[in-house]
Chain A
Amino acid sequence: MRCALPHEGVAVTAAIVVFGFGNPGRGDDGLGPAIIERLDDHLARTARTAEVETVVDFQPQIEHAADLRGRTLAVFVDAGAGTPEPFTLARLAPSARFTHSSHALDPAALLHVYREAFGAPPPPAYLLCVRGYGFGLGEPIGDGARANLATAWDALCTLLDRHRPNRRSPLTVP
């Protein structure tokens, strides 16, 4: 991953950024990091790490606004509780919505903070919300959530393919 320094002139190495949010120690909350792990493996095997930068964290935080600088696409992957199965994929717009009970921001709020703080429109952004069921401490990702993740993976690859700066070959491989 790139080291994002405070000065503005920092070079961005990848046009696309994919965030995976969640706590791997909390059952299905680890869906976001799990899909990033799979994506990292895939990018490494296909020599495409320069195209897509991945960011894993427990939850969206204000500093992730800095990760949006210079991108042509941002994708946020997160586990959802009580959200539609197996996943939802939605285009995001900046929103002043804020979360009440945590240090975290939601992704639309992050886009809003980016726009206001950096004075530029954020890149096109999507939220891939994968349905989870159990969030117990120390539990692994459950079978149902893993099945949802497998379906969501295809959608993520399709989305990334559509936005590749150089579309000579698809991201997905046979």
Chain B
Amino acid sequence: MPFDLETAADPQRLRRVAIDPLSRVEGHGKVTILLDEHNYVHQVRLHIVEFRGFEKFIEGRPYWEVPVMVQRLCGICPVSHHLAASKALDGVAGARRITPTAQSLRRLMHYGQILQSHALHFFHLASPDLLFGFDSDPARRNIMGVAAAHPDIARRGVLVRKFGQEVIRVTAGKKIHGTGSIPGGVNKSVSSAERDELLAGVDEIVDWCLDAVRLVQTLHAQSPAQYDAFGRVPSKMVSMVDPDGAMDLYDGGLRVRDELGGLLHDHLTPDAYMDRVEEEVRPWSYMKFPYLRALGPESGWYRVGPLTRVQNCDRIPTPMAEAERRGFLDHYRGAPVHAPLATHWARMIEMLHAAETVRDLLHDPLIGGDDLVARGEPVRSGIGIIEAPRGTLIHQYRVGDDDLVTMCNLIVSTTHNNQAMHEAIREVARRDLDGREITEGLLNHIEVAIRAFDPCLSCATHALGKMPLAVELLDAGGDTVDRVTRDDRGLVHLPAR
């Protein structure tokens, strides 16, 4: 196999460590690590069961139901699926181009989604590691610990997330299974009362988002070697930009850069991109491995998401976020940044951009307009691409003459990042685990690298009483030889020695 640490040469003689389930990521995933008797790492794999069968669930449904149905994919970023499906099916509804009003309303919904998702990830999921340290007491390393030690940070996280959710509610109609975006446009505008209520709070949100960028900058400055080296693996980068090369998270063409920042492709249309990408299936994983066909799987894999987007674009079209982006690039002296922990900095720059964009759109008279839907000659297929919080999200559909979906293909952000996440955790395993006794803190290093990508492994089912965490060491025959557990109070129970 081409990738180091993907497949051990002699797995039968190795011990297996499983981190199952991964914590503070959405959905269910696990990491398995094969070690020899001296604790040297021979194999690292991330296993995710994601979206299996969902495409079949969509096939046979009327196309106009799809933007609502696909929100069942995920409880965390349903709006991204809602909008990607709508974009893919606009042409099927006869709208080659949606109205300016619909464009503004969809953008408002989308940037509200970016705002709330980035806030949740940083304040709830990532900040415990960054504020307390990767090896800190796991009982404290969570949002409750942040709330106790840094109540102002926690409170702002709560309220920024809340604000983003309210933007979604007024544009999508409701917070879950919203119906605001439909093939061909939208079905509601924003009332004056809704606009005024959001405008009353948006300046404070923008200020807090700027403070969040400053917080990440401070954390970087305190430990630059760790932030710049942890899990660093150069990769190609894919994200969307507008026709002028500026960051656009809702619409545009795809730009592809190589590891050194050189331009490989620019302004690719959705169709052109799908012609250039291939998905490899590997027998040990349910999740596919996308790559650029012309380069092959070994060289053609890439990364998507905030770290890519802030570097791939020529500028960010809101002033405060652009100033922060320039500061980010200056910090790295213009060199391409491939350090996963820098993603948190990039994510906060995007959160600031989202807040500024929401503020601008709230002043846009189009969001109160009534020209909601465009009509025209329908086509029978479409591809919708959007920059979801975690990265590029692609929905592709074909529809029969009876208006029922005959083909559905989804490539989600986490899938795009599959190889990149693997390479990051293998780098962490090499640097931090190799030859050392495995502890909960060291295993958290692996999770920290994964969390930087904010993967969404969600099946969106949430039920009480199903939240275990155990790390088991098994021998080659699969028998448990060691076990570390973390209980519901966050206390770690190590095996007796």
Contacts and interface: CB of A to CB of B under 8 A. Distances in A.
Interface string A97-134: 11111111110010011001111000000000100100
A56 interface: yes
Nearest to B457: A101
Contact of A98 (B143, B148, B198): B143
Main secondary structure of the interface of A (DSSP, over half): loop
Contacts of A109: 143-144
A62 B468 CA distance: 21
A82 B466 CA distance: 9
Interface stretch (B88-96, B157-165, B321-329): B157-165
B23 A62 contact: no
Nearest to A106: B464
A12 to B, nearest CB: 14
A162 to B, nearest CB: 24
Contacts of B145: 96
A116 to B, nearest CB: 3
A6 B125 contact: no
A21 B463 CA distance: 9
Contacts of A102: 26-27, 458, 462, 467
A124 B69 CA distance: 36
A29 interface: yes
Query: Among B458, B469, B486, which residue has the most Cβ atoms of chain A within 10 A?
Result: B458
Interface in B270-288: none
B469 A83 contact: no
B234 interface: no
B380 interface: no
Given A103-B26, A137-B54, A62 B176 contact: no
B75 A63 contact: no
B302 interface: no
B486 to A, nearest CB: 7
Contacts of B25: 101
Nearest to A96: B144
A66 B116 CA distance: 14
Given A112-B147, A113-B143, A101 B463 contact: no
Contacts of A62: 120, 123-124, 143, 154, 157-158, 161
A112 B144 contact: yes
A58 B166 contact: no
B225 interface: no
Interface string B129-172: 00000000001001111011001001101111111011001100
Query: Among A29, A99, A118, A119, which residue has the most Cβ atoms of chain B within 10 A?
Result: A99
Query: Among A56, A101, A135, which residue has the most Cβ atoms of chain B within 10 A?
Result: A101
B157 A129 contact: no
B41 to A, nearest CB: 24
A118 B78 CA distance: 29
Interface string B482-497: 0000101110000000
A138 B25 CA distance: 24
Interface in A137-156: 137-138
Given A6-B204, A23-B75, A119-B151, A100 B125 contact: no
In this complex, the interface size class of chain B, counting residues with CB under 8 Å from chain A, is 35 or more
Interface string B21-46: 11111111000000000000000000
B303 to A, nearest CB: 22
B147 A113 contact: yes
A80 B467 CA distance: 12
Interface in A37-62: 56-59, 61-62
A28 B409 CA distance: 27
B57 to A, nearest CB: 6
Interface string B429-466: 00000000000000000000000000000111111111
Contacts of A58: 75-76, 78, 176, 460, 462
Nearest to A105: B143
A81 to B, nearest CB: 4
A173 interface: no
A6 B163 contact: yes
A65 B78 CA distance: 21
Query: Among A57, A102, A116, which residue has the most Cβ atoms of chain B within 10 A?
Result: A102
Contact of B462 (A96, A100, A104, A137): A104
Contacts of A26: 72, 460-461
Contacts of B176: 23-24, 33, 56-58
A8 B75 CA distance: 28
5 contacts: A58-B462, A62-B161, A96-B490, A101-B28, A118-B151
- A-B complex: 4 closest residue pairs judged by Cβ atoms: A58-B75, A25-B72, A116-B147, A5-B201
Given A6-B162, A116-B147, 20 more contacts: A3-B194, A6-B160, A6-B205, A23-B75, A24-B177, A56-B174, A62-B120, A66-B158, A78-B464, A83-B465, A97-B490, A100-B486, A101-B28, A101-B469, A103-B120, A106-B464, A113-B143, A116-B154, A117-B151, A118-B155
Interface of B: 21-28, 53-54, 57, 69, 71-72, 75-76, 78, 116, 120-121, 123-125, 139, 142-145, 147-148, 151, 154-155, 157-163, 165-166, 169-170, 174-177, 194, 197-198, 200-201, 204-205, 208, 458-469, 486, 488-490
Interface of A: 1, 3-7, 21-26, 29, 33, 56-59, 61-63, 65-66, 78-83, 96-106, 109, 112-113, 116-119, 129, 132, 135, 137-138
